[in-house]
Structure 1
Amino acid sequence: QRSTRDPEKFPTVQLFLLAIVRLAEPIALTSIFPYAWPLVKKFHVGDENDASFYAGLLISAFALAESLTGMFWGGLSDRIGRKPVLLMGCTGTMMSMILVGFASNIYMALAGRAIGGVLNGNIGVIQTMVAELVTKPEHEPRAYSIMPFIWSIGTIIGPALGGTFADPATSWPDTFSQDGLFGRFPYLLPNLLCASLLLISILAGYFLLEETHPDMQPRVLLPDDTYVSEETPLVATADAIKTPAVDLRADTYGTFEGSDDSKWRHATEKNRTPKIFSKRVVALIVALGIFTYHSMTYDHLLPIFLEDARGETNISILTHAAIGSPLSSGGLGLSVQKVGVIMSINGVIALFVQAVVFPLAAEMLGIHRLFILVSVLHPIAYIIMPYLVYLPATWVTAGIYTCLTVRNMLSILAYPVLLILIKEATPSPSVLGKINGLAASAGAACRTVAPPVAGYLYTLGSRMDFSGLAWFGSAFVASIGAIQAFTIKRTKKEQGEE
């Protein structure tokens, strides 16, 4: 069918439709965060104290499966088109949600999460569709900012849905019977709601979204430089849980000091095969892996720590706390519903940092100095968390949001800075896809390992009456990242550098 879209104009309608498809996915993927821990405890797998470890496995199963099949789906989209792969990814995620909702044991839940990861290759496909929709360079900054912004909105709605509608027979006993469907499957309702949103996105995509693959639409409607050659790099993929947004109003975003890549992007020197794995590229990918690891441990530990029952606090414990050793078991004892609200507000804080703080900080400090600053300060975000157990009840909420603000100010700034530095370190646009592929694989591997390791440390700390063990473990990894950041030297790319 012949498209009527003018390639000279900003593709507002198609990007809006793509955003609708995109929005349902982060809602579905993050809705499990508030209730992953109680879901695992319901299955009675081993000792109850091991629930945090198995909750980590449950969350990381998606990332592991996704990392194994991401390149396959990207290659398939080159052969059959972007739209079919995108819709298959949404369908796979919908099936995954329903399977997790009906899970009666840990193995069924793990299978559901893994199936969702195996069938989902949408991150790279959506970024590629954005690149193919936008054919004018002046439209790129606004277009590339939309999907991360939508992802952040989804991470606000998802935990709110999961926390609010988890175990409805307990929350609303007059409406939902303990002997009914939602009593026997207490976490089915939020999964059905998310699956319904995915169904809407699938229908909208099927009937309204256009295919963007250059070889599968009328050539007359597209400029010559739209057609992708074998040397065209893949677009950098975004993290599934932490993708930074930007100021949508700024037409010049991405051109602050040190990040203008216009000469690099339009380079015509392609005769020589550039060296891909330079020391700087490898060092930056290692830095991205370290950041992804400790950032994912925070996302996993946060709901567990907030929901875990409070331990005993006495004078001797407070004395230990005063000298910097939080010897206490347990967390803050909040309800799943309240944790869902907290995580949604956390998403609002992140959205503000993405849209307002990051452009200002990058403009004022420059990319490299901002990278060093957030790397050095990052351990603080983890060190302060276990001390929340010593706050008076009236101060706990303010303390939680203070800690979340500190964390977002650091992590939300770190991710886009690392992506920009990796782009600057890439010797040629013809190898950007390979380098981004390696970075994405490293990130997925670290996201897979982080939750079970953090969960194990939290379990170990609970047995030792040392609630800060897992948090301090993450702070240690972040400290390694801070030291490693000083080994990365920022150099200007020379013309024709290999």
Structure 2
Amino acid sequence: MAEEYSVPLLKKKYYKDCPGCKVDQMKELQQGIPFRELVSIWIVVLCTALPISSLFPFLYFMIRDFHIAEREEDIGSYAGYVGSAFMLGRALTSLLWGIFADRYGRKPVIIIGTISVVIFNTLFGLSVNFWMAVITRFLLGSMNGLLGPIKAYAVEIFRAEHQALALSSVSTSWGIGLVIGPALGGYLAQPAEKYPNVFSKDSLFGRFPYFLPCLIISLFALVVTIGAWWLPETLHKHDDIDISSDDSYDVLEAATHESNTKEIRETVEGRESTSLLKNWPLMSSIIVYSVLSLHDMAYSEIFSLWAVSPRKFGGLSYSTEDVGQVLAVTGFSLLVFQSSAYPYVERMLGPVMVARIASEQHQRGAANGIAMTAMSFFKAVGPAAGGALFSWSEKRQDASFLPGMQMVFFMLNVVQAIGMLMTFEPFLAQPRQC
């Protein structure tokens, strides 16, 4: 009798040709933490994170070598446009890639994203003029839409008890990309000047001094692309449940689904307008998130430009190697803080208010799409505005009020202060409690 009762009364039906069902079957057999899937997600995210920050240490010198700036003080403005191109492309296509992933699967988006790194990051390193650099960065951002789908994939490929670990691996890999990316760009740019015994000035890397770091990242992306073909798809691809089926699980699930659908419909009809744009707790949190994202990208761009610019303009005259070291140490410090000190601070002070705002369940997909698009647009504005501000500041070295770089860092602090003030009520509204 004991053996009879140990068998489930209702067994879930799996569809033979559905990849999502195959993943669900695999999860039922999982024992312990699935490290292979964890490493796969970690590597894919690292692949898409590296190109974002690798150009900052050498961007000033790249624009200088294009000879597009009439004066040296104008280099920052052109550098800002190149820095903004990636995020502008991502902002314009984030929602489309999310829809594509929901319709055709997460795996195609992942593979297309890694292939885009192979192609467009390589072409960026081979750029011979300003417009080629802008276009290749824009296309890289437009075609690389895997950040949102990879988070969904991380949840779907793991059992419930391991989903938090999977999402944390996404954040950790992104943080490590902020460490490795600038280091690669800083150490490997201009190799014929830094390592003349290895690279001659007449070689490929001598004629294209910013190609080597891009090539290393692209080769890594090529390996990731090949490995991604063996990733399992998690999207369910089968027709709706047939109530006439003899399977008892299907009958029960269909009946439950019909009941829940009716209840949800009645609840929604009884609410006032559910427009996301009228949901101020949601929109206020997105605005705060976007402002802080703008500051983050503007600071990354401006610091690199300031560090490598000549001392006569108030800069530090750093080499690309120096900038790569500083950015790598900064990224590593942030990674250490997030993994060690932050959990204790969060427990003492409570979670960050922006992360605390949540939408209703039926709005979460659209809300995430709006947040991703808004954040990308603000991150696109950051480098462009920062580069223009940087160039303007270099032209006012003798101003009586905040001369030179003082104005740049003053404006960065103003943006940061605005973002902090926006985290308080009444701007950042708390969601209504049920």
TM-score range relative to shorter protein: 0.7 to 0.9
1:470 aligns with 2:402: no
Counterpart position of 1:450 = 382
The offset of 1:480, in angstroms, is 2.2
Counterpart position of 1:302 = 303
Equivalent residue letter for 2:179: I
Counterpart position of 1:7 = 28
The offset of 1:32, in angstroms, is 1.0
1:188 aligns with 2:126: no
- Structure 1 stretches of 5 or more lacking a match? 232-267, 312-328, 372-416
Cα 1:271–1:457 shift into 2, 3 Å: same
Q: Bigger CA drift: 59-68 or 471-480?
A: 471-480
Cα distance in structure 2, aligned partners of 1:281 and 1:79? 26
Q: How does 1:51-200 map to 2 (within 5 A)?
A: 51-136=75-160, 138-200=161-223
- Structure 2 stretches of 5 or more lacking a match? 1-18, 242-248, 258-262, 398-403
1:335 aligns with 2:309: no
Counterpart position of 2:8 = none
The offset of 1:57, in angstroms, is 0.8
Q: How does 1:243-262 map to 2 (within 5 A)?
A: none
The offset of 1:112, in angstroms, is 0.8
Cα distance in structure 2, aligned partners of 1:51 and 1:473? 19
Cα distance in structure 2, aligned partners of 1:351 and 1:270? 44
Cα distance in structure 2, aligned partners of 1:215 and 1:477? 46
Cα distance in structure 2, aligned partners of 1:53 and 1:283? 31
Could you tell me whether the CA contact under 8 Å between 1:169 and 1:177 is conserved in 2? yes
Counterpart position of 1:439 = 371
The offset of 1:121, in angstroms, is 0.7
The offset of 1:279, in angstroms, is 2.4
Equivalent residue letter for 2:310: A
Cα distance in structure 1, aligned partners of 2:391 and 2:324? 22
The offset of 1:166, in angstroms, is 0.2
Q: Cα deviations across residues 149-206 of structure 1 (Å, max 9, x unaligned)? A: 0111122111111111101110011221112211111001111111000011111111
Cα distance in structure 2, aligned partners of 1:211 and 1:84? 9
Cα distance in structure 1, aligned partners of 2:428 and 2:126? 51
1:421 aligns with 2:360: no
The offset of 1:269, in angstroms, is 4.8
Cα distance in structure 1, aligned partners of 2:423 and 2:431? 17
1:210 aligns with 2:232: yes
Could you tell me whether the CA contact under 8 Å between 2:192 and 2:200 is conserved in 1? yes
The offset of 1:490, in angstroms, is 5.6
Q: Secondary structure at the match of 1:272?
A: helix
Cα 1:492–1:204 shift into 2, 3 Å: same
What TM-score, normalized to structure 2? 0.82
Q: How does 1:43-54 map to 2 (within 5 A)?
A: 43-46=66-69, 47-54=71-78
Equivalent residue letter for 1:358: Y
Equivalent residue letter for 1:6: K
The offset of 1:280, in angstroms, is 2.2
1:354 aligns with 2:338: yes
Q: Cα deviations across residues 299-343 of structure 1 (Å, max 9, x unaligned)? A: 1111111111223xxxxxxxxxxxxxxxxx321111111211111
Q: Cα deviations across residues 56-104 of structure 1 (Å, max 9, x unaligned)? A: 1111101101111111122222222211121011101211111111110
Q: Secondary structure at the match of 2:380?
A: helix
Cα 1:491–1:305 shift into 2, 3 Å: same
Could you tell me whether the CA contact under 8 Å between 1:307 and 1:336 is conserved in 2? yes
Q: Cα deviations across residues 349-398 of structure 1 (Å, max 9, x unaligned)? A: 0101111122111100112xxx5xxxxxxxxxxxxxxxxxxxxxxxxxxx
The offset of 1:216, in angstroms, is 7.2
Cα distance in structure 2, aligned partners of 1:335 and 1:469? 23
Q: Secondary structure at the match of 1:485?
A: coil
The offset of 1:421, in angstroms, is 2.4
The offset of 1:131, in angstroms, is 1.8
Cα distance in structure 2, aligned partners of 1:7 and 1:301? 50
1:23 aligns with 2:24: no
Cα 1:8–1:269 shift into 2, 3 Å: farther
Cα distance in structure 2, aligned partners of 1:460 and 1:361? 39
Equivalent residue letter for 1:55: A
Q: Cα deviations across residues 267-297 of structure 1 (Å, max 9, x unaligned)? A: x856433623322222222211211111211
Could you tell me whether the CA contact under 8 Å between 2:179 and 2:328 is conserved in 1? yes
Q: Secondary structure at the match of 2:422?
A: helix
Cα distance in structure 1, aligned partners of 2:66 and 2:340? 43
The offset of 1:476, in angstroms, is 1.6
Could you tell me whether the CA contact under 8 Å between 1:167 and 1:187 is conserved in 2? yes
Q: Cα deviations across residues 238-270 of structure 1 (Å, max 9, x unaligned)? A: xxxxxxxxxxxxxxxxxxxxxxxxxxxxxx856
CA RMSD of aligned residues (A): 2.4
Cα distance in structure 2, aligned partners of 1:182 and 1:363? 50
Equivalent residue letter for 2:357: I
Q: Secondary structure at the match of 1:468?
A: helix
Percent identity, aligned pairs only, is: 30
1:345 aligns with 2:369: no
Cα distance in structure 1, aligned partners of 2:311 and 2:391? 14
Could you tell me whether the CA contact under 8 Å between 2:280 and 2:429 is conserved in 1? no
The offset of 1:457, in angstroms, is 1.0
Equivalent residue letter for 1:446: F
Q: How many residues align?
A: 379
Cα distance in structure 2, aligned partners of 1:69 and 1:431? 20
Cα distance in structure 2, aligned partners of 1:488 and 1:141? 30
Cα 1:344–1:7 shift into 2, 3 Å: farther
Could you tell me whether the CA contact under 8 Å between 1:21 and 1:204 is conserved in 2? no
What TM-score, normalized to structure 1? 0.72
Could you tell me whether the CA contact under 8 Å between 2:281 and 2:431 is conserved in 1? no
Equivalent residue letter for 2:108: P
